[in-house]
Chains A and B, each alone.
Chain A
Amino acid sequence: MSQKLIDAITDMRENDALSITDEMLQSGTNPLDVLEACRKAMEVVGQRFEDGDCFVPELILAGEVLKQISEKAKPLMKEQAVSAKDLGKVVIGTVEGDIHSIAKDIVAFMLDVSGFEVTDLGVDVPPVKFVESVKETGAAVVGLSGFLTLAYDPMKATVKALKAAGLNEVKVMIGGGQVDEQIREYTGADAYGRDAMAAVALAKQWLGG
């Protein structure tokens, strides 16, 4: 059954995935096993995304399917789910002055399903908020998102603010439509990534996941 669920999710058969979930839960499958199947499915989806075999619609749909499955499974869980999010903590947000959320949301989602504990600060996040959040959570990685060229200077200001706060050990990755190596250098970030899986790879590299 688990494999059938994994296949339905990775083939983007939303209705099948939901009815298989219902069947599994009704026949007494441990809800944790259902969620484990979802995690495996997302590994496959993430790999396909990385390979250029699936794209934004598939990530959004898979996210939507996962949300619905976990809403079905969670009320049935007797035991607290053992946190699988042991790879480390990441703080993410769209930088000050920029209100674009779609790409940032996808990155946050892929980091989350890959096992990171993600604090998503939302959009239009001032540097000081990033600093506060890193101090609060003890995150070792910060992700700065920005769609427009106007994000360049706020990214630079955020990197500077983290350093000024003495958070020199924190690794900063940046991403967005107009971000490249030249802007990585300009902002002083540690790395930039083209897409969500690049962000996951960077976080794993830095946190040893």
Chain B
Amino acid sequence: MFAIPENWGELTARERQDARINSWALAQIEFASTEAEQGYRKRTQMIKNVVQLKKPERVPVMPWAGVYPAEYGGITVQEAMYDYEKLGDAWKKFNADFVPDCLVSAALIGPGKAFDMLDVKNYHWPGHGTPAGTSYQCVEGEYMTADEYDLLIADPSNYFMRSYLPRVLGALEPWQMLGPWTDIVELPFVGLALIPAGIPPVQQAFQKFLEAGQAIMEWISAVGPIEQTSVASLGVPPTIGGFTKAPFDTLGDTLRGTRGIMLDMYRQPDKLIAAMERIVPIAIDMGVRNATAHDNPLVFIPLHKGADGFMSNKDFEKFYWPTLKAVLMGLIEAGTVPYLFVEGGYSQRLDVITDPDIPAGHTVWMFDQTDMKEVKAKLGGWACFGGNVPGSLLKAGTPQEVEAYVKQLIDDVAQDGGYILANGAVLDNTTPENLHAMIDTGKTYGVYG
């Protein structure tokens, strides 16, 4: 937990960021060795330097690994989701063998048992619609219907509890029968408002909810020590303090689906924009609250439906960017560091995202298929950036090709610091040799003179 200092209200965004980064970098951890502690301090210092656009001692190497550690550890993804001992062995082995500059977290794999109990409908996962060896995948759908914008805008939490969650979590379907909590405004209403809580299907739904909670507690009790072991023995810092999303993606991925939101851009643009604006403070709170709870300033934000080709620049400026920008500004103001995982291509968007209202040295942008020389030209001196080593190369290339690619990338864009070496797309498929080539080349070739 990050302890908010008493003078927080008087601090600038930069001072707040410093306070959060320092708290994370100087965290009191029982390291297994002096070497591990030095590694942790060195790595957090390198990351602080690149966020603040300085030259670190070398390029930090921060792969964003999906489910590859399962394959590497000789288990299926399904096993990783259901057998936490196997999960721990695989993820600890991955971190120990590759020693990246960030912890590759086992927490993102998720508790399969709880998903079963809750009867999650909007995802398929290994053994539940996808093969045992693959990642979980989203099931496209209109989980919010086109005529429900007013309900969402009026009260998003109420909408989630009584409309969205009963649709996507089968076990909670009876929650549709609940009344809004905001009915409970005077003593007599306590009784009246809670009548639904006595209906048998609602009671059963809460029973399942509690059982899932217990399964989740078992999971996190297992995952916590897995992470702590890697951090304490290797000195690899956790680099995801919180998680949030661009409001357009919350609407487009989570609620309306790709098809739904794209039709809304034409059929009901004002409502779409109003809903995204309504979600801004919720998205900021989600990021800041978790960053504070985990005493870690970095807030991970995957960007999906604003990529090149998904919409025109004009629509990007109208629909995607304003509320994402508002979320970024809120996160920055609170001293957290938005860590944007920019999926797909963003070459067309660089002029828009380098918005002069966003202060320099407060954001991190990890790209996939974006022209990195353009990125350097536009983002250099304004924001830390990285990514781009292709998933195709890591899967189908040779270690020599990977090494050559990484060296070229470092030559092209890393010379002034403010740069992180990473793969572009989520790493689900590669070979150990290729991944070693990426990480090890970064560590040796990326040393600043």
Give the interface of A toward B (CB within 8 A). 12, 14, 53-57, 60-61, 64, 96-102, 124, 148-150, 152-153, 177-180, 182-183, 185-186, 195
A-B contacts, 27 listed (Cβ < 8 Å): A54-B312, A55-B315, A56-B310, A57-B262, A57-B265, A60-B259, A61-B266, A64-B263, A97-B134, A98-B134, A99-B124, A99-B137, A101-B140, A148-B426, A148-B428, A149-B425, A150-B135, A150-B429, A152-B395, A152-B429, A177-B343, A177-B425, A178-B390, A178-B391, A182-B392, A182-B393, A183-B396
- Are B309 and A56 in contact, CB atoms less than 8 angstroms apart? yes
Nearest opposing residue in chain B for A152, CB measure: B395
Top 3 A-B pairs, shortest CB-CB distance: A186-B396, A57-B262, A149-B391
Q: Once the chains are docked, how many angstroms separate the CA of A14 from the CA of B135?
A: 38
Report the Cα distance A21→B344, complex, angstroms. 38
Tell me whether A148 and B309 are in contact in the complex, defined as CB-CB below 8 angstroms, given that A61-B266, A97-B130, A183-B392 are known contacts: no
* Set of chain A residues within 8 Å of B309, measured between Cβ atoms: 55-56, 195
B129: chain A residues at CB < 8 Å are 99, 124
Complexed CA–CA distance, A179 and B312 (Å): 22
Q: Say yes or no: B395 contacts A186, CB within 8 Å.
A: yes
- Chain A contacts for B396, CB-based, 8 A: 152, 182-183, 185-186
A12 to B266, CA, bound (A): 8
Residues of B with C-beta under 8 A to A148: 134-135, 137, 426, 428
In this complex, the member of B309, B311, B392, B425 whose beta carbon has the largest number of chain A beta carbons within 10 angstroms is B392
With A97-B130, A99-B130, A148-B428 known to touch, is A56 a contact of B262 (CB < 8 Å)? Answer: yes
With a cutoff of 8 Å between Cβ atoms, the chain A residues found around residue B310 in the complex are 55-56
Report the nearest B residue to A56, measured CB to CB: B310
CA distance A97 to B52 in the complex (A): 41
* Mask of B239-256 contacts with A, CB within 8 angstroms, 1/0: 000000000000000000
Contact A102 B258 (CB under 8 A): yes
Q: How far is the CB of A109 from chain B (nearest CB, A)?
A: 11
Cβ contact within 8 Å between B390 and A180: yes
Which residues of B are at the interface with A, using a C-beta cutoff of 8 A? Answer: 124, 129-131, 134-135, 137, 139-140, 258-259, 262-263, 265-267, 309-312, 315, 343-344, 390-393, 395-397, 425-429
Contact B137 A100 (CB under 8 A): yes
In the complex, what residues of A have CB within 8 A of residue B428's CB?
148-150
B6 to chain A, nearest CB (A): 47
Contacting residues, chain A, for B426 (C-beta < 8 A): 148-149
Instruction: From A55, A98, A150, A183, give the contact of B311 (CB < 8 A).
Output: A55
List A contacts of B311 (CB < 8 A).
55-57
Beta-carbon nearest neighbor of B401 in chain A: A182
Asked if A14 and B134 make an inter-chain contact with CB atoms under 8 angstroms apart, the answer reads: no
Residues of B within 8 A of A102 (CB): 140, 258-259
Q: Identify 9 new A-B residue pairs, CB closer than 8 A, beyond the known A149-B426, A177-B344, A182-B390.
A: A57-B263, A97-B130, A99-B137, A100-B140, A148-B428, A149-B425, A149-B428, A152-B396, A182-B392
Question: Could you tell me the distance between the alpha carbons of A97 and B139 in the complex, rounded to whole angstroms?
Answer: 13
| Residue contact A180 to B263, C-beta cutoff 8 Å | no
Closest beta carbon of chain A to B80's beta carbon, Å: 15
> Which among B137, B139, B428 has the highest number of chain A CB atoms within 10 Å?
B137
B262 touches A61 (CB 8 A): yes
* Least distance between A150 CB and chain B CB atoms (Å): 5
Contact residues in A for B391 (Cβ distance below 8 Å)? 149, 178
> Which residues of B are found within 8 Å of A53, using beta-carbon distances?
312
Whether the Cβ atoms of A98 and B262 lie closer than 8 Å is no
* Across-interface contacts of A12 in B (CB, < 8 A): 266
A150 with B134: CB separation less than 8 A = yes
Find out whether the CB atom of B392 lies under 8 angstroms from the CB atom of A180: yes
Do residues A99 and B392 form an inter-chain contact, with CB atoms below 8 A? no
Q: Which residues of A contact B425 (CB under 8 A)?
A: 149, 177-178
